[in-house]
Chain A
Amino acid sequence: MADQQSPLVEMRNISVAFGGVHAVEDVTINLFPGEVVGLVGGNGAGKSTLMKVLSGAYSRDAGKILIDGKEVTIENPRDAKALGIETIYQTLALADNVDAAANVFLGRELLTRWNTLDDVAMEAAARQVIGRLNPSFKNFKTPVHSLSGGQRQAVAIGRAIHFNARVLIMDEPTAALGPAETAQVTDLVKKLSDEGIGIFLISHELRDVFDLSDRISVMKNSRLVGTVFKKDVDEDDVLGMIIGGKHPGVPEALTSGAALATEAAATA
C-alpha cells in the first residue's frame, strides 16, 4: 500500500444546491484505501448531502469525482455501486415491506439457473452476513418494517458490506443502536479498514470518530472548515472547528497527496 499515490476517492470542489439552499459549497475531500475519514459537523452542515453525491443519490451542481485518480460519472446509485461504493444511509433506506434477505440483495438478487429469484440462497447468505453483526438476529421471514431499530441497522449494514465494497459510506451508523451493537459496528469498521476498504464515517459521537478515524474532515454551514490528522488534534480542537469554524492551525491533511499516501499506509 506504500506505493499508493492517488487516493481511492477524491471529491473536488463539490457544490450542491436545492433551490436557493446551498447545501454543499466548494467542498474537497479524499479517502485512501484502508483509511477511515471521519466527517463531522453540526446538524444541516451538509455532510449527508456531500456523501449522497458520492453514492449517486444526489447530482452535483459543480465539481468532480475521481476514483483511483480517474474522473468518473456517478449519475445514480447504480453507477456508484458499480464502482464499489456502498452506502449505509442515515435513514437506512430499506424497502420496508420485504424481508431482510430481499433488502440485502435489493437490486442485485441471486437468481436460479431459470433466472428466477433464489430466495433460499439469498436467505442463506443474508443469515451469514447479518449474523456477523448481530448473532441473535432471527426474523428473516418478516418484512423489515416490523424489526427493531438495531435489527434494521444490521440489515442496512449487511447490504453494504456483502458486495465487496471498496468504499463504504456510513452515515450515522450507530444512531439507532445500543452500546453492545455500537461496539459491534466499531469492530466491524476496524476489520473492514484492515481489509483495505476506505470508509467515510459520519458520526455525532466524537469519541467514536476519534477512536476509528485516521483523518477528520469538518464541515460547517455547507463548507469545509478543514481536514486534520487525528494524531494532530484533540476533541476540543475538533469541537472548535465544528462550532466556531476555526482551524486549529495544525498541518492541513488534505493538500499533500504524496505525504498523505505514506501517512495512510503507516496508519493502516
Chain B
Amino acid sequence: MVEATGSSPNTAPATGGAVRRLMRATEVDTRLLGMVGALAILWIGFHIMSDGLFLTPRNLWNLSVQTSSVAIMATGMVLVIVARHIDLSVGSLMAFVGMIMGTVQVNLLPQLVGFDFPLTWVITLLIGMALGAAIGAFQGYIIAYLGIPAFIVTLGGLLVWRGAAWWVASGQTIAPLDSTFRIVGGAPNTSIGATASWIVAALACVGIVLGILGGRRQRRKFNFPLRPIWAEIVLGAIGIAAVLGGVGIANSYGWPKGLVRQYAQANNIPEPDFIATGIAVPVLIALVVAIVMTFLSTRTRFGRYVFAIGGNPEAAELGGIATRWVTLKIFVLMGILVTISASIQTARLNAATNALGTLQELYVIAAAVIGGASFAGGIGTVPGAILGALVMQSLQSGMVLMGIDAPLQNIVIGSVLVLAVGLDTLYRRQSD
C-alpha cells in the first residue's frame, strides 16, 4: 500500500489490453516488474555475449552468494533513503565490526575459553550485533536528536570507522577464523544441500499460498472486493515457479571436484559423481533478512512511520509520530544489517581485514536507488533494493565473464546507475 503503484483505480479502464488488465487484476507493482524484465534481458544478453557462461548453475550460484552481502545492507539502506537520510558509513562500519568480531573469535575467546569452544561463533555474532546496533544508535542519535545532517554524520563515520578498523589490530589481518563461524561465508561444502533446500522451497510455497488465502479472508471479513481467482492463481503460480526454479538451479550445482575428493577421503568412501550444493548459507540469510525487512517495512507501525516521515516529515510529527525515535531506530537497524554482512564477508574471506567493505557504501546506495528508492523521500521498496543489488552484481560478474577490464566495469556500472535513475525519474514524471 505504501509502494507507489503505477496504476490507480481512477484511471480510464477502457484503454490498454490484456497485459494491462492482468496487471490491474493482480495489483503488481509495475516498477518492480520492469526491473525483473530488465534483469532478464541483462542475463540473457550476458549469456549470449559470454558464449553460454552466464546462465549456468555454477555462475548463478556464485552470483547469489556474491549478491547476498550487498543485498542485505541495501534492505536497510532503502529505509534510510526513504526517510530522507543517507548512510555513507556502512563500508567502513563493516570493516570495524568485522575486525572486532575477528579479534573476539581469534584472540579473545580462545584465551578465555580455549580453542574449539562450540559457542565461539554465537558469542562473536552477539558481540558484533550489539556493536553494530550501538554504533548505529550513536550515529542515529546525532542525526535525529542533535539535528546534524546524516550526510555529514555518516561521512564522518566513513572516516572514523575505517580508521578505527585499522587501530583494532594495527592494520594486521586477523586469520584464520573459527571454523563454525566460517559457515556463514557460504562455501559449496557448507551449503545446506539438496534435501534441506527442497524443504525450504516447500515452506516458501506453503507461505505463498497461505499469504494469498490470508489476504482473501481478511478482505472478505470486511466485504471488500476480492481479486479475481484467476489473478490469484497466476500470482501464486509465478511465485511458486520462481521458488522451485531457484532451488532447482541451486541443487543442480554440484560441489567442485576438489571438495568432493576431500570429502570422500575424509569419510573413507568411494568418490561420488555429484554432491548437490543447494542454497548457500549467506543466500539463506539474505532471504530471511529480505522477508523480515519486507515485513517490517510494510506490515508494522515502524515501517509505516518510516514512509510517512519520508513523505512529509512535518506532517508525520504533527500526526503524532515520534519521528526522532523512529529515525534512530532506522540507523540501529542499519548497524545490525551491516554486522550481518560483515560476518558473511569476513567468513567468506576467512579473515578480517581493515580494508573490508571499501567502497561498499556506494554499491549499497546504488542498489537501493536502482531498486527505486528516491532521495526525495517516501519512496522505495525492500524487494526493489534486493533486485537492485542483483542487477549491480549481475553487471559486474557478467562483465568479468566477458573479460572486460575493471576500469571499464566501473564506467559501465556508473553509467547504468545514472541511466536507471534517469529512466525512473522520467517514468514517474509521466505516470503522475
In Å, the complex CA distance between A57 and B322 comes to: 12
A98 lies within 8 A of B1 (CB): yes
Residue A237 is within 8 A (CB to CB) of chain B in the complex: no
Residue A263 is within 8 A (CB to CB) of chain B in the complex: no
Residue B270 is within 8 A (CB to CB) of chain A in the complex: no
Residue A109 is within 8 A (CB to CB) of chain B in the complex: yes
In Å, the complex CA distance between A146 and B308 comes to: 15
Contact stretch, chosen from B41-49, B159-167, B191-199, B214-222 = B214-222
Minimum distance in angstroms from B236 CB to a CB of chain A: 20
Residue A211 is within 8 A (CB to CB) of chain B in the complex: no
B9 CB contacts on chain A under 8 angstroms: 138-139, 141-142
B10 lies within 8 A of A138 (CB): yes
B320 lies within 8 A of A98 (CB): no
A93 lies within 8 A of B2 (CB): no
B378 CB contacts on chain A under 8 angstroms: 95-97
Contact stretch, chosen from B30-38, B243-251, B297-305 = B297-305
The count of residues in chain A whose C-beta lies closer than 8 Å to any C-beta of chain B is 39
In Å, the complex CA distance between A120 and B223 comes to: 10
Minimum distance in angstroms from A230 CB to a CB of chain B: 30
A120 CB contacts on chain B under 8 angstroms: 218-219, 221-222, 224
A95 lies within 8 A of B319 (CB): yes
A102 lies within 8 A of B308 (CB): yes
In Å, the complex CA distance between A139 and B8 comes to: 8
> Which of A93, A102, A107 neighbours the largest number of chain B CB atoms within 10 Å of its CB?
A107
- Interface residue ranges of A124-166 to B (CB < 8 Å): 124, 138-139, 141-143, 145-146, 159
B316 lies within 8 A of A106 (CB): yes
B2 CB contacts on chain A under 8 angstroms: 97-98, 102
Residue B379 is within 8 A (CB to CB) of chain A in the complex: yes
Residue B423 is within 8 A (CB to CB) of chain A in the complex: no
B224 lies within 8 A of A108 (CB): no
A97 CB contacts on chain B under 8 angstroms: 2, 4, 307-308, 310-312, 378-379
Majority SS at the chain A contact face: loop
A77 lies within 8 A of B300 (CB): no
Per-residue interface assignment for chain A, residues 43 to 71, with 1 indicating a CB less than 8 Å from any chain B CB and 0 otherwise: 00000000000010100000000000000
Residue B271 is within 8 A (CB to CB) of chain A in the complex: no
B304 lies within 8 A of A93 (CB): no
B8 lies within 8 A of A94 (CB): no
B315 lies within 8 A of A109 (CB): no
B308 lies within 8 A of A98 (CB): yes
Residue B235 is within 8 A (CB to CB) of chain A in the complex: no
A102 CB contacts on chain B under 8 angstroms: 1-2, 304, 308
A95 lies within 8 A of B222 (CB): no
Residue B153 is within 8 A (CB to CB) of chain A in the complex: no
A99 lies within 8 A of B1 (CB): yes
In Å, the complex CA distance between A81 and B314 comes to: 16
B319 lies within 8 A of A107 (CB): yes
Per-residue interface assignment for chain B, residues 218 to 236, with 1 indicating a CB less than 8 Å from any chain A CB and 0 otherwise: 1101101000000000000
Residue A200 is within 8 A (CB to CB) of chain B in the complex: no
B301 CB contacts on chain A under 8 angstroms: 109, 111, 117
B299 CB contacts on chain A under 8 angstroms: 116-117
Residue B116 is within 8 A (CB to CB) of chain A in the complex: no
In Å, the complex CA distance between A142 and B11 comes to: 11
In Å, the complex CA distance between A254 and B183 comes to: 75
In Å, the complex CA distance between A138 and B221 comes to: 20
B317 lies within 8 A of A77 (CB): yes
Residue B321 is within 8 A (CB to CB) of chain A in the complex: yes
In Å, the complex CA distance between A77 and B314 comes to: 11
- Interface residue ranges of B279-314 to A (CB < 8 Å): 295, 298-301, 304-305, 307-308, 310-312, 314
Minimum distance in angstroms from B226 CB to a CB of chain A: 11
Minimum distance in angstroms from A244 CB to a CB of chain B: 34
Minimum distance in angstroms from A153 CB to a CB of chain B: 14
- Interface residue ranges of A82-99 to B (CB < 8 Å): 87, 89, 92-99
Closest to A92 in B: B315
B321 lies within 8 A of A106 (CB): yes
B300 lies within 8 A of A117 (CB): yes
Residue A176 is within 8 A (CB to CB) of chain B in the complex: no
B319 CB contacts on chain A under 8 angstroms: 77, 93, 95, 103, 106-107, 159
B218 lies within 8 A of A95 (CB): no
A107 CB contacts on chain B under 8 angstroms: 305, 319-321
Residue B426 is within 8 A (CB to CB) of chain A in the complex: no
Contacts A107-B305, A116-B300, A159-B319 known; 13 new A-B pairs at CB < 8 A: A87-B318, A94-B315, A96-B312, A97-B308, A97-B310, A98-B2, A107-B320, A116-B295, A117-B301, A120-B221, A120-B222, A141-B9, A145-B311
A-B pairs with lowest CB-CB distance, top 8: A97-B311, A107-B320, A97-B378, A95-B308, A106-B319, A93-B315, A93-B318, A116-B299
